[in-house]
């Protein structure tokens, strides 16, 4: 079967620091995404979003694409790409425009958004996403969709996500060498939010932390709107390297031991047991014991979560956000592969003044069991983004009320 015999195909491509994932979905007539292709390969040729070996990375992408095509029995021509690196920035801006017609129209929205994004951004950056937070008309604020309303002046509060345009260009060029077109580039933290967060969580105030291998992506929503994003260049691999150093192990053995025997907080019931620790080949590690392993892991996870908490504190300070029931962060949601460490909730409860939840992707029905894991939050979010983007494009062509759909469904404006 080839692509031409399938109707609504969407493909997500995640090029992370530890893995490359390709996921193929078909949008059924009922609107459900049916997963038909999947592949996962170790990443080579890239480090923290920067390419250090183009040929090697291209080979990895080719292999991943090929395996997903074989499973789906179709040919891939274009993808939705997640992007993440240390040079991702965000800023909240305001645009103001007079209302010249009797009622606010699509053109008025476009004009005020254009005004809001016409600000100075970091050198060598371009805008990845323009995300409306809320609109104000004269003295009325907190408006999500101003179409059809009347007034004298309109203000738009928007969240801009920017990234280094050369890093983005290099990754896209690597994909093009594989004969694949990139439809849209989506910030990894935004993609994860689409698969993990509910509207209720966003409205109540939530901090989503996608804990990967080399980086953590922190996304903070307040009153239903995205206010802050940051890429923290430390994550699970930092813990693995500490284990490898402390016990003179290879990185792969340290990773195996972390996943199988590791705890983020010491468990007294485990301390009393004489647990023998073995590497991935089944060889006993004589000088590594449960208590000494936890003494390496716990302080590092504590440090990682404190970095996240500092982002929350800095956001409150920067925007003078009062910690009341409407504006405080009521939930901290942890996802990503490094959130699977045992007793992470106990560790996080010592740091955050909020409810802690560890979540798997939940916003796409009928996710196959092998994908229903925290480490697949981003790739599943890419399919959700692709579905929403294609539907909003059709709404744009078919109905003048497409903006209402845009705000209610994804609240995401993308500019490249």
What homologous superfamily does CATH list for 3-86+166-196+363-404?
A: ATPase, nucleotide binding domain (3.30.420.40)
Mean pLDDT of the residues in the chain:
88
Give CA–CA dist 369/389, Å, rounded.
Answer: 26
Retrieve residue 366's tokens: 């009928």
What kind and span of H or E run contains 316?
A: helix 290-319
Q: To which residue do tokens 């025997």 refer? A: 261
187 contact partners, CB below 8 Å, separation of at least 6: 82, 83, 84, 88, 128, 129, 161, 163, 229
Q: Domain 198-359 carries which CATH code?
A: 3.30.420.40
Q: Do the Cβ atoms of 92 and 159 come closer than 8 Å?
A: yes
Q: What pLDDT is stored for residue 321 in this prediction?
A: 65
Q: Is 67 exposed, middle or buried (0-12, 13-18, 19+ CB in 10 A)?
A: middle
Q: What pLDDT is stored for residue 411 in this prediction?
A: 44
The pTM assigned to this predicted structure is 0.88
Q: What pLDDT is stored for residue 410 in this prediction?
A: 40
Give me the DSSP letters along 242-303. HHHHHHT--HHHHHHHHHHH-BSS--HHHHTS----B-TTS-B-TT--HHHHHHHHHHHHHH
Give CA–CA dist 184/358, Å, rounded.
Answer: 29
Q: What pLDDT is stored for residue 298 in this prediction?
A: 96
307-341: pLDDT as tens digits:
999 999 988 887 776 544 446 889 999 999 999 99
Number of H helices, E strands in the chain: 12, 17
Q: What pLDDT is stored for residue 416 in this prediction?
A: 40
Retrieve residue 186's tokens: 């989506």
- How open is the CA angle 86-88-91, to the nearest 5 degrees? 140
Two domains, one topology: 3-86+166-196+363-404 and 198-359: yes
Q: What pLDDT is stored for residue 5 in this prediction?
A: 45
Q: What pLDDT is stored for residue 318 in this prediction?
A: 79
Q: 77 — phi, psi (to 5°)?
A: -115, -25
Q: What pLDDT is stored for residue 154 in this prediction?
A: 95
Q: Which residues pair with 152 in a beta bridge?
A: none
Q: To which residue do tokens 């929403």 refer? A: 388
Q: What pLDDT is stored for residue 398 in this prediction?
A: 54
Q: What pLDDT is stored for residue 4 in this prediction?
A: 38
319 contact partners, CB below 8 Å, separation of at least 6: 92, 227
Q: To which residue do tokens 């990754």 refer? A: 171
Q: To which residue do tokens 């203000």 refer? A: 155
The list of the chain residues with pLDDT below 50 reads 1-5, 323-326, 399-402, 405-406, 408-416
353 contact partners, CB below 8 Å, separation of at least 6: none
Query: Where in the chain are the domains?
Result: 3-86+166-196+363-404, 198-359
Q: What pLDDT is stored for residue 402 in this prediction?
A: 47
Give CA–CA dist 334/218, Å, rounded.
Answer: 10
């Amino acid at each position: 079967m080839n692509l031409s015999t399938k109707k609504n195909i969407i493909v997500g491509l995640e090029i992370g620091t530890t893995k490359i994932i390709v996921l193929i979905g078909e949008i059924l007539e009922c609107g459900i995404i049916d997963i038909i292709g999947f592949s996962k390969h170790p990443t080579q040729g890239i480090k923290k979003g920067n390419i250090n070996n183009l040929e090697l990375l291209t080979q990895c992408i080719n292999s991943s694409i090929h395996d997903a095509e074989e499973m789906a029995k179709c040919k891939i021509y274009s993808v939705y790409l997640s992007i993440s690196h240390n040079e991702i920035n965000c800023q909240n801006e305001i645009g103001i425009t007079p209302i010249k017609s009797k009622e606010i129209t699509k053109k008025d929205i476009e004009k005020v958004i254009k005004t809001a994004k016409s600000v100075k951004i970091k050198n060598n950056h371009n805008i990845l996403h323009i995300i409306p937070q809320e609109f104000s008309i004269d003295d009325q604020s907190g408006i999500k969709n101003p179409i059809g309303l009347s007034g004298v002046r309109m203000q738009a509060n928007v969240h801009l996500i920017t990234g280094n345009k050369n890093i983005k260009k290099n990754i896209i060029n690597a994909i093009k060498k594989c004969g694949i077109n990139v439809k849209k580039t989506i910030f990894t933290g935004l993609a994860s939010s689409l698969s993990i967060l509910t509207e209720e969580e966003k409205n109540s105030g939530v901090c989503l932390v996608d804990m990967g291998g080399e980086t953590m992506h922190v996304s903070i929503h307040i009153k239903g709107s995205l206010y802050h994003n940051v890429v923290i260049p430390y994550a699970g691999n930092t813990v693995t390297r500490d284990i490898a150093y402390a016990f003179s192990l290879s990185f792969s053995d340290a990773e195996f031991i972390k996943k199988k025997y590791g705890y983020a907080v010491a468990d007294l019931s485990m301390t009393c047991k004489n647990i023998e620790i073995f590497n991935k080949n089944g060889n006993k590690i004589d000088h590594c014991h449960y208590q000494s392993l936890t003494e390496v892991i716990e302080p590092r996870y504590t440090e990682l979560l404190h970095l996240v908490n500092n982002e929350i504190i800095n956001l409150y300070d920067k925007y003078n956000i009062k910690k009341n029931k409407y504006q405080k962060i009521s939930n901290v949601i942890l996802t990503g592969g490094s959130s699977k460490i045992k007793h992470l909730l106990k560790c996080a409860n010592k740091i955050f003044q909020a409810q802690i939840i560890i979540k798997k992707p939940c916003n796409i029905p009928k996710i196959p069991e092998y994908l229903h894991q925290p480490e697949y939050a981003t790739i599943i979010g890419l399919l959700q983004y692709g579905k929403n983007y294609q539907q909003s494009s059709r709404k744009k062509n078919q109905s003048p009320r497409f903006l209402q759909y845009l705000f209610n469904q994804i609240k995401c404006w993308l500019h490249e």
